[in-house]
Amino acid sequence: MPNGDFLTLSIWPGKKDPSAEVLTIQVRHLEDEEWITMGRLAIYRTPDGGYSQLPDRPPPTKEKETEISSPKEEDLLGDALSD
CA–CA separation, 78 and 16 (whole Å): 56
Enclosing H/E stretch for 82: none
Q: Do residues 8 and 32 lie in contact, with contact meaning Cβ atoms separated by under 8 Å?
A: no
Over 70: is that where the pLDDT of 61 sits?
A: no
Mean pLDDT of 35-54: 93
> What's the pLDDT score for residue 59?
60
Extents of the domains making up the chain:
1-55
> What's the pLDDT score for residue 64?
42
Higher-confidence residue of 3 and 78: namely: 3
What is the per-residue pLDDT across 15-30, written as a single tens digit (0 to 9) for each? 999 999 999 999 999 9
